[in-house]
Amino acid sequence: MAISTRAIEPGDLTLVTQVLTGSWGGTTVVALGRGEVIDAAALPGFVAFDGDELAGVVTYAYKEGAVEVITIDAVLSGRGVGAALLDAVKAMAVELGAGKLWLSTTNDNTHALRFYQRYGFDLVALHRHGVDRARKLKPAIPLESDGIPIRHELELELALEAAGSAP
């Protein structure tokens, strides 16, 4: 069965909270480059399903003509959930007339870096010791993952064409 997506609805709060808590240790995340604590469960986003089974969640923020992916979590891996969620956010961003879709990840997240680059994102910035600064706002951020010290923030972006513009 194909992965389907739809906008997060008020009745999805419990599901969204469960996914965020499982992946992020709660619903709050730190927007690394801005040093801002965000309640991701309060943001707009999309949920993905494989039939009736929850497959993933993405949250985003629209600001200054760009859409930032705040969280993305594939509950079911290897089934195209991440791409389906990004497709949904990308389509919405194009409809809003956003010029870019962007996100941040950490230096240890090699799986995500491969995925984002395959999707078409370009690495545009390295914020050295950005995660060290973020830990001051959210001390629960781990120090390492798979033996890799988590220290730096990597920023990636995908240029978008507004709906109705010529290719």
CATH class of this structure's domain 3-159: alpha beta
pLDDT tier at 118, thresholds 50, 70, 90: very high
Question: Would you list the domain boundaries of the chain?
Answer: 3-159
What is the value of pTM for the model shown?
0.88
Alpha-carbon span 35 to 24, nearest angstrom? 16
Q: What is the pLDDT of residues 21-34, one digit of tens each?
A: 998 889 988 876 66
- Reduced to 3 states (helix: H, G, I; strand: E, B; else coil), residue 24 is helix
Q: Are 129 and 107 in contact (CB under 8 A)?
A: no
Classify residue 150 by its DSSP letter. Answer: -
Token pair recorded at residue 67: 């859409």
**94-109 burial string, b = 16+ CB within 10 Å, else e?**
beeebbbbbbbbbbbb
